Amino acid sequence: NAGVMQNPRHLVRRRGQEARLRCSPMKGHSHVYWYRQLPEEGLKFMVYLQKENIIDESGMPKERFSAEFPKEGPSILRIQQVVRGDSAAYFCASSPVQGIVQPQHFGDGTRLSIL
Amino acid sequence: QQQVKQSPQSLIVQKGGISIINCAYENTAFDYFPWYQQFPGKGPALLIAIRPDVSEKKEGRFTISFNKSAKQFSLHIMDSQPGDSATYFCAASIGNFNKFYFGSGTKLNVKP
């Protein structure tokens, strides 16, 4: 499967714990985007990364959330000290190049549940 | 504020009928308007997209109509089938930034 791979598909955490969500982009794609989807709502942009660079993090909460896309390995969305309100589906998308608009290809998401 | 407004929230259509979903936007800088289809437990999948230099784009049973002056665009699904039952999202983006603003989604149910 050459699509965008996200894991885990489901993640359960207790309040105060850390959540780490991973995203491997499609082969040949060097741009990664994270979105959050609350139940019955659309996707909300969180952050846009290229390899080793954060390009746009205007949708990221200022505290507890961070993202990285290292030179090797998947992109990681990290949520520290999780709270109930962090329960959502988190989707990763990737695209091949910047410069012209490219359709984003989405993974199947990580459903995060906070107990 | 919500950059892209989508309606209706839910839609029930008989098999063979036409499904119509509408979106409106405010930012005239938007220049790429995709529609995504999402099935339960899955990520959104690109269905069809349009740029503002054309008023209509058709791919199979799916058509986007675009009204630049009204800042509105819509998705028409002709000959709707039960397999089309899903949630549909419109979106918009600006230039090469690849940052999409999504509508709130329309849950389509096509009755057999």
Which pLDDT score is estimated for A101? Answer: 57
Which pLDDT score is estimated for A1? Answer: 47
Which pLDDT score is estimated for A29? Answer: 86
Q: What is the mean pLDDT of residues A79-83?
A: 97
pLDDT of B24-45, one tens digit each?
999 999 989 999 999 998 999 9
Q: Does B112 reach chain A within 8 Å, measured CB to CB?
A: no
Report the share of chain A in percent with pLDDT over 90. 73
Residue A86 has pLDDT above 60, yes or no: yes
Of the partner residues A99, A107, A108, the one whose CB lies closest to the CB of residue B96: A99
Which pLDDT score is estimated for A80? Answer: 98
Q: Does A44 reach chain B within 8 Å, measured CB to CB?
A: yes
Which pLDDT score is estimated for A70? Answer: 93
Q: What is the mean pLDDT of chain A?
A: 91
Which pLDDT score is estimated for B71? Answer: 95
- Pairing relationship of beta strands A10-13 and A65-68 according to DSSP bridges: unpaired
pLDDT of A20-75, one tens digit each?
999 999 988 888 999 999 887 889 999 999 989 999 999 999 999 999 999 999 99
Of the partner residues B45, B46, B99, the one whose CB lies closest to the CB of residue A56: B99
pLDDT of B2-11, one tens digit each?
789 999 999 9
Q: What is the 3-state secondary structure (H, E, C) of B24-89?
A: EECCCCCCEEEEEEECCCCCCEEEEEECCCCCEEEECCEEEEEECCCCEEEEEECCCCHHHCEEEE
B 11-30 near A (Cβ less than 8 A): none
* A39: exposed, middle or buried (Cβ count in 10 Å: 0-12, 13-18, 19+): exposed
Q: What is the mean pLDDT of residues A6-17?
A: 97
Which pLDDT score is estimated for B96? Answer: 62
CB B80 within 8 A of CB B16: yes
Which pLDDT score is estimated for A102? Answer: 66
CA distances to A24, A58, A111, B60 from A1, rounded to whole Å, are 12, 31, 21, 26
Q: Residue A40: its chain B contacts at CB < 8 A?
A: 105
Calculate the CA B56 to chain-centre distance.
13
Q: Which residues contact B69 (CB under 8 A, 6 or more apart)?
A: none
Nearest CA in chain A to B107: A40
Contact A42 B89 (CB under 8 A): yes
Q: Does A4 reach chain B within 8 Å, measured CB to CB?
A: yes
Contact A43 B44 (CB under 8 A): yes
The region of weakest confidence among A43-57, A92-106, B51-65, B95-109 is A92-106
